Structure 1
Amino acid sequence: MTSTLSIAVIGAGYWGPNLARNFRSSEHWDLAAICDLDRARAEKLATSLGGIPVVTDLADVLADSSIDAVAIATPARTHHPIAMAALRAGKHVVVEKPLADSRELGEAMVREADERGLVLMADHTYCYTPAALRIRELVEAGELGDILFIDSVRINLGLIQPDVDVFWDLAPHDLSIMDFVLPGGLQTASVAAQGADPLGAGKACIGYLSMPLANGGVAHVHVNWLSPTKIRQVVIGGSRRTLVWDDLNPQQRLSVYDRGVDLAQQSATDRTAATVSYRLGDTWSPALPEREALSAMAAEFAASITEGRPARTDGRAGLRVLSALEAARGSLAQNGAPFAVTASPN
Structure 2
Amino acid sequence: MSDLLRVAVVGAGYWGPNLARTFKASGDCELAVICDLDVSKAQRVADRIGGAPVTADLAAVLHDPTIDAVAIATPARTHHPIVMASLRAGKHVMVEKPLADTRERGLEMVELARHQGLVLMADHTYCYTPAVLKIRDLIAEGELGDILFVDSVRINLGLIQPDVDVFWDLAPHDLSIMDFVLPGGLAATSVSAHGSDPLGTGKSCVGYLAMPLECGAMAHIHVNWLSPTKIRQMVIGGTKRTLVWDDLNPQQRLSVYDRGVDIAAVSKATAADARAAHISYRLGDTWAPALPEREALAGVVAELAASVRERRAPRTSGESGLLVLAVLEAATASLAVAGAPLPVTHHTLEEGFVR
TM (norm. structure 1) is: 0.98
Deviation, structure 1 residue 268: 6.5
Cross-structure match for 2:191: 191
Q: Which amino acid aligns with 2:268?
A: Q
Cross-structure match for 2:353: none
Q: 1:311 is matched with which residue: 310, 314, 334?
A: 314
SS at match of 1:331: helix
Alignment coverage as a number of residue pairs: 346
SS at match of 1:266: helix
Cross-structure match for 1:231: 231
Cross-structure match for 1:345: 348
Q: Which amino acid aligns with 1:328?
A: A
Deviation, structure 1 residue 102: 0.3
Deviation, structure 1 residue 96: 0.2
1:323 lines up with 2:326 in the alignment: yes
CA contact (8 A) 1:316 1:344 kept: no
Cross-structure match for 1:257: 257
Q: Which amino acid aligns with 2:109?
A: M
Q: 1:270 to 1:99 in 2, by over 3 A?
A: farther
CA contact (8 A) 1:189 1:340 kept: yes
Q: 2:295 is matched with which residue: 288, 292, 303?
A: 292
Q: Which amino acid aligns with 1:208?
A: Y
Q: Which amino acid aligns with 1:236?
A: I
Deviation, structure 1 residue 51: 1.6
User: What do residues 284-343 of structure 1 show as CA deviations (whole Å, max 9, x unaligned)?
Assistant: 000101111100000001000000110000000000000000000010011100011001
Cross-structure match for 1:118: 118
CA contact (8 A) 1:152 1:222 kept: yes
1:19 lines up with 2:7 in the alignment: no
Deviation, structure 1 residue 271: 9.3
Deviation, structure 1 residue 267: 6.9
**Structure 1 residue runs of 4+, over 2 Å off?**
265-274
CA contact (8 A) 2:154 2:224 kept: yes
Q: Which amino acid aligns with 1:27?
A: G
Q: 1:208 to 1:271 in 2, by over 3 A?
A: farther
Cross-structure match for 1:8: 8
Aligned equivalents of 1:297, 1:50: Cα separation in 2: 21
Structure 1, unaligned runs of 5 or more: none
User: What do residues 188-216 of structure 1 show as CA deviations (whole Å, max 9, x unaligned)?
Assistant: 11100000001111100000000002343
Q: 1:271 to 1:133 in 2, by over 3 A?
A: farther
CA contact (8 A) 2:171 2:221 kept: yes
> Percent identity between the aligned chains?
69
CA contact (8 A) 1:206 1:225 kept: yes
SS at match of 1:216: coil
TM (norm. structure 2) is: 0.95
Aligned equivalents of 1:2, 1:249: Cα separation in 2: 41
Q: 1:260 to 1:116 in 2, by over 3 A?
A: same
Aligned equivalents of 1:272, 1:72: Cα separation in 2: 60
Q: 2:283 is matched with which residue: 280, 283, 308?
A: 280
Aligned equivalents of 1:271, 1:312: Cα separation in 2: 50
Cross-structure match for 1:266: 268
Aligned-residue CA RMSD (Å) = 1.4
Structure 2, unaligned runs of 5 or more: 350-355
